[in-house]
Structures are given as structure tokens and as C-alpha cells.
Amino acid sequence: MQVNVITLFPDMFKALSASGITARAIAQGLLSLETVNPRDFAEDRHQSVDDRPYGGGPGMVMTVPPLSKAIGAAKSSMDLVNKAAPKVIYMSPQGKPINQKRINELAQQDSLIVLCGRYEGIDERLIDAEVDEELSLGDYVISGGELAAMVLLDAMIRQLPGALGDNESANQDSFASRPLLDCPHYSRPEKVAGHQVPGVLLSGDHEAIRRWRLKQSLLRTRERRPDLFMQLQLSHEELALLDE
Ligand code: SAH
């Protein structure tokens, strides 16, 4: 998968290539991660990429020409022979909230361009002309699109085939195939400050352990995320576990 990020702060993306699962996936070549800095396409001598908003008011707006050229440069740097044109995603608090379903779909793309805003955001005409989709981290505002893009990319990278080792399965995680939270996890020692591991996990009875974990998942989803619980289609077994 080829990803190109349009950002004024390319160094921030070293966080992905430096540590953990994302670093390993990039090193293995599962994903190529490039950046283009719109500042390199600014034309005045101050290399400005922002200007005051028409109509007045506080803050600055990222202007169209450097961004548009940066997107063009990103596209031409990608190997797109026999491939669909890359989707352009703008990270924005006004986009659709990111969820696992959309992440899994995006992880199937050959190529993506991710646009990071700064200041008050970007000129609406750039969004109209170039952006295919706007995605949000949630209903709060952060200072720039970079952290949001990194969240999106990390979540996507762990879905790429081969990104997780054998012992790190993604299909056991919360939201893997349905809106269900993961069960609680325990490891050694058996007793911590007087707190014992739930006995069933020590029983060696795989069926009992599976049922216990499923029940915990259902109970915590109902308790913590009633909005998700409402969307769940429950099997007969699951209804019976909840009755217990
Ligand atoms: N004035 C804008 C916020 C600008 S914040 C508004 O109120 O809608 C500056 C940049 O940070 C945005 O352009 C966007 O790229 C990024 N950003 C801020 N909050 C975000 C969120 N919740 N999700 C994704 N990106 C976000």
C-alpha cells in the first residue's frame, strides 16, 4: 500500500516509522509512507501556505495553490500503473467519525493521500475540488491533522496482511467483526495484591473459557457502550449468557 501525507510537519510521522507494529510493517515494505510539504510549493519569499480569512475573524486559512500542487506532486510520486487513482482523505473534525469498519475498507486500497490541516483549516474550494472523503477522530478539535492521520494510519496498518505477528491477532480485538468490546485480560502472577485471576481462566477448559470471555464481552459492551450494544445481533447462545 502506498500512502502519501500532505503535511507542514513531516517529522511527526517518524513516530510511525520508529516504533512498534507500524515501524515493522513499514520496514517489511507492507506500506510505503511518504510525505509532501506544501511549504515546498509556496511561491512568495516568505514561503507562506496560509493567509487571512475572507470576511475577517481570527486565525489563518491554508490557501489552495500550495496544497493543490502538493497533492499533484504526491500523485505523481506514486506508482499508479494499472491502479485506481488514490483517494484523497482530509482529516477534519467535520468529517465522519472514524470507525473500524471504515478502517478495514480503507486498508484494502492500493494508495491513499491523507491531507493534514493546520490553523483554522483549509480553503473550502480545495476540499470541493480535491478531497474524496473527510474523516474525524471524534467530536473535539486538535491543533492539526497530523495526529489524526497517524491514528488513521496506525489503525489501517495493523489490518494489513502480515502486519501483526502470529501472537497478535486483530480478529480478537474490540470491534473486529461486530460492535463488541474485547474481554478483560490477565497474565502472571496468579495473585496481585490479594486479587486472584478469575478461576475459569486457570481451568484448562477451553469451552468454559470461551463462554466466559464471550459473556464478559457482552456484559461490558452493555454496561459501557449501550449505543453499541443496541446494534448487536445476538445469537441464542449470547442471549442465554446474558440471562445467566
Ligand atoms: N476550524 C476548524 C478546526 C481547525 S483545527 C473547525 O472548527 O472545524 C486544525 C486542523 O486540525 C484541521 O484542519 C484538521 O485537519 C485537524 N483536526 C482538528 N480536529 C480534528 C478531528 N477531530 N479529527 C480530525 N482532524 C482534526
Please name the helix (run of DSSP H) or strand (run of DSSP E) that holds residue 72, with its range, or none: helix 64-77
Q: Is 66 in the pocket of ligand 1 (CB under 6 A)?
A: no
CA torsion 74→109→119→45, rounded to 10°? 0
Question: Residue 118 Cα, ligand 1 centroid: separation in angstroms?
Answer: 7
Cβ atoms within 10 Å of 139's Cβ, excluding its own: 7
Dist CA 239 CA 183 (whole Å): 17
State the pLDDT at residue 171. Answer: 78
Instruction: Say which CATH superfamily domain 2-157 falls into.
Output: SPOUT methyltransferase, trefoil knot domain (3.40.1280.10)
Q: Who's near 7: CB < 8 A, 6+ residues apart?
A: 13, 35, 36, 37, 116, 145, 146, 149
CA of 224 to the centre of ligand 1 (A): 27
d(CA 143, CA 94): 14
* Per-residue model confidence (pLDDT) at position 45: 92
Task: Express as a percent the part of the chain with pLDDT over 90.
Answer: 92
> Which residues, listed in sequence order, are joined to residue 33 by a DSSP beta bridge?
3
Closest ligand 1 atom to the C-alpha of 62?
13
Q: What is the mean pLDDT of the segment spanning 13-29?
A: 97
Q: Tell me, which fold does domain 178-243 have in CATH?
A: Trp Operon Repressor; Chain A (1.10.1270)
**What is this structure's pTM?**
0.95
Domain boundaries, the chain: 2-157, 178-243
What is residue 172's predicted lDDT score, i.e. its pLDDT?
A: 80
Residue 101 pLDDT: 94
- Does residue 59 have its Cβ closer than 6 Å to ligand 1? no
Cα separation, 241 vs 244, in Å, equals 5
- Give me the active site residues, please: 93, 120, 158, 173
pLDDT tens track for 92-135:
999 999 999 999 999 999 999 999 999 999 999 999 999 999 99
Per residue in 122-174, pLDDT tens? 999 999 999 999 999 999 999 999 999 999 999 999 999 999 987 677 878 88
